[in-house]
Structure 1
Amino acid sequence: MPAILTLSLILVLALTVFPVLVLLLTSFRPRGTYGFDGDGFSLAHYAALLQQKEVVVLATNTFIYVAGTIVIGVLLAGFWAWVTERTDFRHKVSVRVLMLVTFALPSLVQGLGWTLLVNPSNGLVNLWLRELFALQGGEGPLNVYSMSSMVFISGLLLTPPVYVMLAGVIRHLDYKLEFPAVLAGVPPRVVFARVLIPILLPGLLSVLIYTVMLMIQVFDIPLSIGLTAGIQVFSTRVYLLSSSEMGPPEYNLAAAWGVVLVIVAIALVSLYRRMTRLSERFAVISGKSYALVRTRLGRRRYIVYAAGVVFFALALAPSAILAWTSLLPFYDAPSLEALQHVSLKNYSDLFESSMFRRGLVNTALMVLSGATLTMLLSFVISYTTFRPAGAVHKLIDTLAFLPIGIPQIVLGLAVLLLYVRSPLYGTIAVIILAQLSVNMVFAIRTLSAGLIQVDRNIERAAEISGVSRVNIMARVMAPIIKTQFFNAWLLVFAFSIRDIGIPLIFLTSETVVLGSALWLLWGYPNVPGAAALSVMLVVFLALFITPLQVYVSRLTDRASA
């Protein structure tokens, strides 16, 4: 297996280690020299970083934004996870489906939709509130361009992924652990605080740490709302320094910021892996003795119904207002008078735009080839590491896991610095490479989970028969885990098309994709055109992913039959 092992090591080094190494070197190089270029080292960029007056402000903004978002997202996700997994709520399947639907909506689209809804002057919600309460003045009472609005909106967007994680933790909680206390007449709130919370704590902490890593990477809402509000966090600061929006790019200073975030990421990854190992000691499922009893909601189900209507109305409202705006020559609140101006002109203008056509071709090339390449390379690496046999295997596994905590904007900057002097810079290929580095860790974890379930004797039988290692991978292992492969391919596809940070870092007239085109239209400003493109993105995702998801579901059903 030396050839496959060597290939895996080369892939991991090229896609994760070398970009981060170049980022580190750039942070110490004199201004204008990057990575292995130039001579000498200096701490000037770190000194400049510490001397910047906004460092404390950035740290405070990031902390408030991350902490506030996590509080809202975890509370909402925990509520719905408990309702769907531990109660007799009838519409739990509908909740799960709607959670996946809202998760599939691009965050940038959601941010732009919320801007139209809660704009201080003519946002639909503010217009309704001023009319309902007879408020004077032409602005408010709500302001989307504020930290509280960013936290609230991001909390709603964070709820679906956290719900998926928490639902799995709560679903596996054995009722027999609670039963003695319930039988003794202990109040439910005491049972929850003294019995359930300690049992769930390791799993909850691992989810919380992963969520912190996820939130440090968030870029879309701070970009679409925070920049206009004058509120910067670490991710937007790295973007601004590495783009031309504030003058010539400051790659060295941006690299210094990136190194700081990488150090934080490594600490969080180490803590996350420690907590996931610790959670295995608290396993509560033991075969046939496992029991799950659902709590009866009774009249409280009406409160749950009301909460569901409010939550999913808030989650889907941004897409609805964008769909309405896309039909108008300019933004206007829904009314009978506005119906007179409804047309499809914005869509026809969009299809006639050279930027849209180029972005569509680039996006198709980026997501299709990128997702496929990511899965193929990840399969090679995951096959190498899913049964570690030595120090090299474990090293590859550790290095492949590292990018999970590095903010995407930082990893994108690292890839940019690695290829800035190469012919690949300024082509769609470098965006594909950057997204490959970002998405590979997810693909490897998904495939490894499927490979672990394959009995070692299957490989041994093929080896005894003289089958080569490559043929074992292609003709034995690949067909067995094809369901996990296609499912992961779909998610990598969705992650790629939703990503806005990396395409913006590499943005040129030749590398524009639909996500960066959306940002350019919004900033032009061409609000109806941006709304039309937002709707096209959502429709494109739905039309492409839905039939493939049906196919994957059928594969799953056949595998379990």
Structure 2
Amino acid sequence: MAPTHRRPPAALVAAAVCCASAASIPLIYLVVRVAGAGPDSVLATLTRPRLLELLRNSLVLSLSVTLAAVLIGVPTAWMLARVRLRGIRVWAAIAAIPLAVPSYVAAYGWLAAFPSMSGFWAAWFVLTLVGVPYVVLPTVAALNAASADRDDVARTLGRGPLGAFLVGTLPQIRPAVLAGALLVCLYTLSDFGGLALFRFPVLTTAIFRAYSTSFDRDYAAVLSSVLILVALAVVVVEQWMRRRAHGVATGSGRVGRVSPGRLAPIAGAWLLAVPVLAAGVPAIALIVRWVQADQTQAVDPRRFLDAVLATATLAGAGAVVALLLALPIGVLSARWHGRTVQTIDALGTLPLGVPGIVVGLSLVFASLALVPQWYQSIGVLSFAYGVLFVPKAIGGVRSAIDQVPTGLEEVARTLGSGRVAVWRRVTAPLAAPGIAGAALLVAVTAMKELPATLLLRPTGTNTLATELWSHTEVNAYGSAAPYALALLVAAAIPALLLSRVGARDDAPLIRDGVAS
């Protein structure tokens, strides 16, 4: 979409700067740590031969996972948005289930079934499975808002279905696909649990080892800074590609669904494959361990219920914080361009490339220095979730605003409405489903967050993720199973809500090019 005004409102810019500054607390912490380490220590770290291997592994894995997630996610989104399937909302909810699976749970499930799995390909396989929904969800929303008019024109000019999609629909949904790909890439760069279990050395595993074993925070800070620079490069590339994708308007006509005909079983198998491999295999592996475990690994019902309640409460609070931080940045980057906007957008997006332990330590540092009475409080932990996952919210908000035709806003302004009134009466109602989807995406992701939760949780507070980790850490896999299954069920609730945002079953049916 083209920007509606040449200059953004000063109030919006100021709000976006404040939100980006809040999201940049981990970066400020790293700058302080690296500056305190001294140039000699920094140079010694940067010249270690091991650094090049870690950097190469991180880049190759992130790019490979991102490419695979896009190649799987876009066809999946097309089926959910454009194919007439029975129970489409159920299919959409199933497609979102892998969002609830922590990488270390998925890795453990596959290791339980195939103990020899390790290295790059194992890590690539599992991270691709849990990363696909990040592409599917925004792409489904974009497909629902896109027009099939260009596809129809391309078909009349002799192009086949795939060619018509590439020249007609793909340019319209490209910003959403790029937003999803960015999330997958940054998620892979910052992941630790699955990579540690598969013994694949990357920057995050080295950072965690430095923090947890040698307590060399200066070395870990330098490695984290390298990771941040890589994430920054990824964000800059995504911004460049997104700018080239701007200017494609969506249509207002209803888009029909294609009848799958005899291919319905194949479509169903495709939609089931990723959820079964990502969630089904780990769940079955944990249930088997639970059945085989001795009775001494019984679960305390009160502790279990407390973990469920804490998980839901903290995830909801984190989603609210992330949405408040993301709204000004997402609106600004969706409607205006320029270096200032790009800088603000990059600062808001970078935290997803920061390991959770770095975010946790940065907020420990900030809370003790500024508001010591808030240390290890629910407020600080909720803010940590907001900082960690604000990039996900920004991507969702930006995609939602992008899909609102600027022409409607211009008409409202010519009728005498101010910017606030236009937002309240036109933009916000049309973008509300996408913005709600962004908040739900944050909530699902926050449910499985682990490192920052371990550092910042109030004393005596446990979530499903921390309980699961503590039980698997002491090899009590039997008693870990209920927490893993509860985490999947808890995340299925916002996943179902996400399906209501992204999936529509009221589109006309198309047979042989004719809507019915």
- What is the TM-score normalised by the length of structure 1? 0.69
SS at match of 1:29: helix
Note the 1:291-330 alignment, pairs <5 A: 304=267, 311-315=274-278, 316-330=280-294
- Secondary structure in 1 aligned to 2:201? coil
Q: 2:433 touches 2:501 (CA, 8 Å); kept in 1? A: yes
Q: Give the residue type in structure 1 aligned to 2:494.
A: I
Counterpart of 1:369 (choices 305, 317, 320) is 317
Mapped contact 2:364–2:375 kept (Cα < 8 A)? yes
Alpha-carbon distance between aligned partners in 1 of 2:398 and 2:128, rounded to the nearest angstrom: 30
Between 152-161 and 50-59, the greater mean CA deviation after superposition: 50-59
Whether contact under 8 Å (1:175, 1:291) holds in the other structure is no
CA, structure 1 residues 405+232, in 2 after alignment: closer, same or farther (shift >3 Å)? closer
Distance 1:74 1:379 in 2: 26
Alignment partner of 2:383 out of 416, 421, 433: 433
The answer as to whether partners of 2:82 and 2:257 remain within 8 angstroms in 1 is yes
> Per chain length, whose mean CA-contact separation is higher, i.e. which structure has more relative contact order (CA < 8 Å, sep 6+)?
2
Classify the secondary structure of the residue corresponding to 1:12.
Answer: helix
Aligned identity (percent) is 20
Q: Which amino acid in structure 2 is aligned with residue 375 of structure 1?
A: L
Aligned residues: 486
1:171-182 to structure 2, matched below 5 A, reads 174-182=151-159
3-state DSSP of counterpart to 1:367: helix
Structure 2 counterparts to residues 167-316 of structure 1, below 5 A: 168=142, 174-182=151-159, 208=181, 211-223=184-196, 225-226=197-198, 230-242=199-211, 244=212, 246-247=213-214, 249-280=215-246, 283=248, 304=267, 311-315=274-278, 316=280
Matches within 5 A, 1:93-492: 95-118=91-114, 120=115, 143-165=116-138, 168=142, 174-182=151-159, 208=181, 211-223=184-196, 225-226=197-198, 230-242=199-211, 244=212, 246-247=213-214, 249-280=215-246, 283=248, 304=267, 311-315=274-278, 316-330=280-294, 349-351=299-301, 353=303, 359=307, 362-379=310-327, 396=344, 399-403=347-351, 406=354, 408=356, 410-419=358-367, 421=369, 423=372, 424-447=374-397, 453=404, 455=409, 483-484=433-434, 486-492=436-442
Contact 1:388 1:394 survives alignment (8 Å):
no
Deviation readout 1:50-105 (Å, 9 max, x if unpaired): 34443233234324433443454344335545655677777866643321233344
Partner of 1:338: none
1:28–1:252 Cα contact (<8 Å) kept: no
The alpha-carbon distance between structure 1 residues 48 and 193, as it changes in their structure 2 partners (threshold 3 A), is farther
Rounded Cα–Cα distance in structure 2 between residues aligned with 1:23 and 1:6: 24
Quote the Cα distance in structure 2 between the aligned partners of 1:532 and 1:479: 40
Alpha carbons of structure 1 residues 179 and 73: separation in structure 2 relative to 1, 3 Å? same
| AA aligned opposite 2:201 | Q
Judge conservation of contact 1:23–1:417 (CA < 8 Å) in 2: no
Query: Structure 1 496/293 Cα, relative in aligned 2: closer, same or farther at 3 Å?
Result: closer
Quick check: 2:227–2:353 contact (8 Å CA) kept in 1?
A: no
d(CA) in 1 for partners of 2:169, 2:433: 35
The structure 2 residue matched to 1:16, chosen from 6, 23, 33, is 23
* CA separation of 1:117 and 1:279: change in aligned 2, threshold 3 A: same
Assess, with a 3 A threshold, how the Cα gap between structure 1 residues 350 and 236 changes in structure 2: closer, same or farther: farther
In 2: Cα distance, 1:431 partner to 1:321 partner: 31
SS across alignment from 2:300:
helix
1:47 counterpart = 2:54: no
Contact 1:462–1:472 (CA under 8 A) maintained in structure 2: no
Relative to structure 1, is the Cα distance of residues 502 and 178 closer, same or farther in structure 2, using a 3 angstrom cutoff? farther
Give, in angstroms, the shift of residue 495 of structure 1: 1.8
- Corresponding residue to 1:58 among 48, 54, 58: 54
State the partner residue of 1:518: 468
Indicate which of 494, 498, 507 corresponds to 1:545: 494
**Aligned pair in 2 of structure 1 residues 443, 309: CA closer, same or farther (>3 Å)?**
closer
Is the 8 Å Cα contact of residues 93 and 499 (structure 2) preserved in structure 1?
A: no
Contact preservation (8 Å) 1:174, 1:285: no
C-alpha distance in 2 between matches for 1:25 and 1:455: 44
The superposition leaves residues 98-118 of structure 1 with CA deviations (integer Å, 9 ceiling, x where unpaired) of 212333444443333223322
Q: 1:426 to 1:84 in 2, by over 3 A?
A: closer
Determine which structure has more spread, i.e. the larger CA radius of gyration.
1
Task: Note if contact 1:494-1:541 (Cα within 8 Å) is conserved in structure 2.
Answer: yes
Corresponding letter in the other structure for 2:23:
T
Residues 379-436 of structure 1, C-alpha deviations (whole Å, 9 max, x = no match): 4666777766999777655543444555555544544444454524444443322221
**Counterpart AA for 2:96:** L
Q: Distance in 2 between matches of 1:205 and 1:381?
A: 17
Task: Please tell me the residue identity of whatever aligns with 2:26.
Answer: P
* Partner in structure 2 of residue 73 of structure 1: 69
Cα distance, 1:532 vs. partner? Answer: 1.6
> Secondary structure of 2:157's partner?
helix
In structure 2, distance between residues paired with 1:207 and 1:439: 13
- List gaps (5 residues or longer) in structure 1: 31-41, 121-142, 331-342
Structure-2-length-normalised TM-score: 0.74
